[in-house]
Structure 1
Amino acid sequence: MMKVERYHPLLILFELWKLVRNSIFFVVYLFIIKGNSDSNFVTYGQFIFIVIFGLALVSIVLKWLSHKYKLEGRAFHLYKGIFSKSERTIPFSKIQNVNRHTSIFHRIFKVTSISFETGINGDEAVTFDVISKLEADRIEELIKVDDDQISTKPIQEDDISAAFNVDASNSKPKRRIHFKPTNRDIFKASITSLSILALIPLMVSLYFKLDDIYPIEERVEGMFSAIQSSWWIVMLVIIVLVVSSVIFGVVRTFLQYGQYEISSDLERIYVRKGVIEENHFSIAKDKVQAIEIKQSLMKRMLGLAEVKLISAGHSNADEDKTEISSLYPFLPINRAYEMVAEILPSFQVTNVMNRLPRKSLWLRICQPSWFWIIITALLFYFKPSILSMEQAWWIISAILFIIIYVLRWLDFVHTRYSLNGSFIQIKTGSVTTSLFISKRNKVIGVKVTRNLLQKLLGLANIGIVCRAKPVLRAGVEDVPLAFTEILYQWYKRRREEIEVK
C-alpha cells in the first residue's frame, strides 16, 4: 500500500513567487510612489495590504501542510483540509489529456508542473504545480500503463515498481516525429499571427504605464517635435519601426513555436512547444473525440491551417497552456490533412462533400437581418454626421447591408457536409472556416429543427453533440430534408459500435 505524500516543498516558494509577482503593482504604488503621502487612503491601504499579504503567506504554508496525495488502486487520491478534511478520488481511466508546463521558475530549480485533465463533469484537473521531473514521468507512465491494461485488478506496489524499473529502451514505444517547423514556417507564422504588429501596442502600453509613475508626456512631445522637423528623420524612424517590428515579431514567434514538435507512438500523440518556457501535451489516440481544421482568411491566402484535437478533458490551466492542444496553428494545408491520416489512422478525411442546394442560398437572401434593421433604425433616428456629411447614415446602412449579405453568400459557398462510413464531416464559416470531423461512436446526440420557410422549401437544420468541455456542438443550416433521414439512420447504427456499461 502506497503512503500519502505531501506535494513538493518548492511549491511554497512557487506560490510565494506568484504572490510577490501579483503584489508588485501595489508595493510600487503604496510604498514607493505614495510612500511619503499623509493621505488616510494611502495609510489604510498600506495597512490592509500588509494584513492581506500576511494572511496569504500563512495560507500558502497551511495549504502545503494540509494538501496531500496518494496513487493507489488505479486512481489519484487527493486529500485536503486541517480541521475539516476531505478526500477526492480520480480514476486513471478518466484522464483524457496530460499537459506539462515548465516555466523559468521550474527550469531554475530543475522541476516542472503537470496537469492531468479529466473527463468528469464538474471536476477540475489533477494538477501538480511543482513536481520533480522524475515523479512527473513516473505518474505519466502510470496513466499510460492503465490505458493499455485490460485487467481490472488493483495495482500493487510491486507492479508500480516494475513499471518504472524496466529498461527504458524496451518499455517505451518508438515515437515518430511528424512535424518540426522550418525557418520559413516560423516567418509565415509571424505574419499570419500578426506578431510583427505586436511591438506598437506594447510600446503604447509601456508609455502609459511609465506616464502613470513618472510624467514623461512633455519629454515625448518634445521628441516628436524634433522628429517632425525633418522629413529624412521621419523616414528613418519609420524604417527603424518597421524593421524592429518584423524582428520583434519573428523573435516572439520563434520563442513560442521555435522548438515545436509533433510526434506520436502507437497509443498517444505528443505536442511540444516553447524555447524559454516549455509546454508538453499528450493525449491517448482513443480519447480524441473529434478533429477541427480551422482557416482564417489570411491562412487561406497563405495555404495554412490549424488542426485542433478535441477531447473531453477539463483543464484549469490558462489559455497559453491549453492552446498547445492544437497541432501547430500554422500547418501547410496539404500537410495538415496528411498528418491527420498519419497520427490518427482511425480517422478518415474525405475531400468529397455535399454542397447546399441553391434554394438554401435564396432562403438566406430572403431572410431579413434584424441586426441591420435595428442599426438602420438607430442611424435614421440619430442621423450622425461623419466627415461633414449629413446623409452619411444611409451610406453606413448600405455598406452594412452589403457586408451582411456577402458574409451570407460566403457561408453558403463554404458550407459542406458528408457522411463517410462511420464518420461525419461538417464545414462551415464565412471569413474563417472550420472543418469538423468526428466518428459515430463519439457523437452523443443528433438534432433536427425546421422553421416555417424551411418546411415550405424542404430544408432543415441539423446539429450534433460530442463530449468535450464545454460540450462541443456542430451543425449545418438549410440542408435538404432527405439528408436528415439519412443522418438519423446513420446515428442509429451507433448502438452496434458502443458498449453499454
Structure 2
Amino acid sequence: MTTPTEAVPPPLPGGDGQARRLHPMSWLFVLLQQLRQFVVPLLVLVFLGRGDRYQLWSLVAVGGFAIVAVWRYLTFRYRITADSVVVDSGLFERSRRQVPFSRIHNVAIHQSLLHRLFDVAEVRLESAGGDKPEAQMRVLRMADAVALEAVVRRRGALPAAAGEPAAGAAPAHDAGGRVLLALPPTEILRLGLISNRGMIVVGGAFAALWQFDSVLPDDVFDRGEAAARAFFGSHHPGVAESALAIAAAVAAALLLVRALSVVLALLQYWGFRLEEHGRRLTVERGLLTRLRTSAPRRRIQAWTLREGLLHRLFGRRTLDVDSAVAGNEQQQRRGLRELAPIAMPEACNGLVRHLLPGAAWPPAQWRPLHPHAWWRLALPGTVFAFALAAALCWRLGPWGLLALLWLPWAVFVARHHARRAGYAVDAQLAAARSGWWSRRWRFAEIDKLQALELRQSPLDHATGMATLWLDTAGASSPLRLRYLPLDEARAMHARLAREVARRPLRW
C-alpha cells in the first residue's frame, strides 16, 4: 500500500465551500469505537460461557450504537473554505463549528490496520487549548486526509490573500518535505534494546489476568501450588543449585522483557520519519497502526535530551519536545513529541541547531550549582538508609544496621550528580543539565517563557540556596534551575524577568 509520505495529495474537492460527507464506511469505525468497552464482557460470555447474565444487555446496546453510528454519518458534513474548516453535525440539534486554519496547531492522521485495509484515516484537528480536538473526522479517504493536512499546512502559515490559489488546490510539490531524520530497522532494534517498553506488556498481562480471574477455574491456582509442592517435595536442591535456578529465572525474565521491548519498538516506530514542510514539522511512524502528526515549529515550547546508561553503551540519545497543542494528557501524547526517539548525539545536537537558528547548542560553558548542592542531593538517600535501618533493627536486631552501608553509596552518587549538574542562560536559551547514570538536558527559548518563580524551602534558607522555576505553555514540567547560590539565583531571576517583560510571547 502506498504510505502517506509517498503519496502526492490530489486537489481536495470541496475547496470552494462545497459540503462533503465522510467516507461511506465511517459508520463502521464509529460503531467499533463505541463498542470497545463491551468487547471483553461479550468475549467472556460467548466463548467461555461465564459471567453475569445481565451482560446480555450488551447485545441489545449494539443495535442502538449501530443506529447512532449511521445517524452520525448521515448528518455529518464538512466544508473547506478559503480560511477555515467548517463542520456541520446533528439532526434535531444542529451545530456548526468553524475552525480557522491559523488556529489549528496540530493535524493528527491515525490509521489502524483496519483503516489501512479500507484506505481511510481518522483526522483530528487540535488547538493549543481545550480537552478535545477542535474537529474530529471518522473517517476520510486517505488521499483526502493528506490533502487536508497540506491545506492546513499552507493556509495556516500565511493568511489568504488575493492571487493565492484556492484552498483546495494543493500543489503537487506541497506533499513532499525535507527529511530531517529517518530511522532504519537497525536503529529501531537498538531503541527496543535500550527502552523498557516490554514492562508495559507485562503490566498489561497482569491486569488482564486480574480481570479474567472471575472466569478462570476456581482451583487453577491451587493446582499450580500443589504441583510446585510436589516437585520440591521430591527434589531437594542445594544452595548452589537454587542460586543458579534463581539467576536463570531472572535472566530469562530480563531477556523476555527486552524481546517484548524490541517488538513494541518495531510496532510503534517502524518507518519513522521526521520531515520539515516549511514552518511545520511532520512525524510519521508505525508498522500496523500508522500515525502521522503535523504541528508548526513555533508551537515547540521546551526541549529534552535524555541519555541513559544503555544509551551511552550504544552511543545514542533521545530528543523530545513539549508543544502547546492540546489541553489533556492523551492529546499531548498524540501531538508532536518525539523528534528523535533514538539518534547519535551529534545528530540530536544538529536537529536542535537546525530548528533553533542562531542558538548556541550545546552551550559553551555550564555554570555549576551551589558548592553544597551534593548534600541536598544526598539527603533522600540518607533518610531512606536510616529509615530502612530502623525498620530492620526492629525486626532483626543489630543486623539491621547493615542497611547503613547504603550511606556511602548515596553520598558517592550525590557528589557525581552535583559535579555533572549545571545551568546555562544566554540571549536565546535557558538550559539545565542533570543526572549521572541517566543524564538529562532540558532547555527552552527565553521568548517562550510565560512565568518565573524563585523558590526557597527551609533547607534552602539554611544553606543559602534557591531554585528558579521557568514555565512555558504546554510543557509537561517546568524548567528548573536547582540549588543555585541565593545571590546568583536572585540576579538571574531579575535578568530573566526583564527579558521576558520586554519580549513578545511567541507560542
TM-score by length of 2: 0.77
Q: Deviations over 1:217-240 (max 9, x none)?
A: 659987998999999xx99x9899
Match of 2:478 in 1: 473
* CA shift in 2, pair 1:391/1:281, >3 Å: farther
* CA shift in 2, pair 1:8/1:426, >3 Å: same
CA contact (8 A) 2:303 2:442 kept: yes
Match of 2:178 in 1: 176
Structure 1: which amino acid aligns with 2:38? S
Match of 1:267 in 2: 279
Q: Deviations over 1:376-428 (max 9, x none)?
A: 69838x934xxxx44565545x3666676566445423422111222111223
Matches within 5 A, 1:81-96: 81-96=90-105
Give yes or no for the alignment of 1:2 onto 2:17.
yes
Q: How large is the Cα RMSD of the aligned pairs?
A: 4.3
Count of matched residue positions in the alignment of Structure 1 and Structure 2: 477
Matches within 5 A, 1:154-165: 159-161=166-168, 163-164=169-170
Structure 1 position 136, deviation (Å) = 1.2
CA contact (8 A) 1:96 1:311 kept: no
CA contact (8 A) 1:180 1:262 kept: yes
Structure 1 position 58, deviation (Å) = 3.3
* SS of residue in 2 equivalent to 1:309: strand
Match of 1:358 in 2: 371
Match of 1:38 in 2: none
CA distance in 2, matches of 1:224, 1:98: 58
CA contact (8 A) 2:389 2:401 kept: no
Identify the structure with bigger relative contact order (alpha carbons < 8 Å, sequence gap 6+).
2
Give yes or no for the alignment of 1:304 onto 2:316.
yes
* SS of residue in 2 equivalent to 1:159: coil
CA contact (8 A) 1:349 1:437 kept: no
CA distance in 1, matches of 2:129, 2:203: 40
CA contact (8 A) 2:446 2:500 kept: yes
Match of 1:44 in 2: 54
CA contact (8 A) 1:195 1:252 kept: yes
CA distance in 2, matches of 1:401, 1:190: 34
Structure 1 position 109, deviation (Å) = 0.3
Match of 1:13 in 2: 28
Structure 1 position 441, deviation (Å) = 1.3
The match for 2:350 among 326, 331, 338 is 338
Match of 1:69 in 2: 78
* SS of residue in 1 equivalent to 2:79: strand
* CA shift in 2, pair 1:61/1:400, >3 Å: farther
CA distance in 2, matches of 1:200, 1:42: 28
Match of 1:187 in 2: 189
Identity %: 16
CA distance in 2, matches of 1:31, 1:113: 30
Structure 1: which amino acid aligns with 2:124? S
Match of 1:78 in 2: 87
CA distance in 2, matches of 1:245, 1:368: 30
Structure 1 position 79, deviation (Å) = 3.7
Q: Deviations over 1:279-302 (max 9, x none)?
A: 222222222222211233432444
* SS of residue in 2 equivalent to 1:355: coil
Structure 1 position 204, deviation (Å) = 7.1
What residue ranges of structure 2 are gaps of 5+ in the alignment? 1-15
Structure 1: which amino acid aligns with 2:26? L
What residue ranges of structure 1 are gaps of 5+ in the alignment? 36-40
Match of 2:433 in 1: 427
Match of 1:114 in 2: 123
* CA shift in 2, pair 1:409/1:72, >3 Å: farther
Q: Deviations over 1:5-25 (max 9, x none)?
A: 443332210122334544232
CA contact (8 A) 2:267 2:288 kept: yes
* CA shift in 2, pair 1:30/1:160, >3 Å: same
Structure 1: which amino acid aligns with 2:394? K
Q: Deviations over 1:214-262 (max 9, x none)?
A: 646659987998999999xx99x98999887766554443333232222
CA contact (8 A) 2:449 2:470 kept: yes
TM-score by length of 1: 0.78
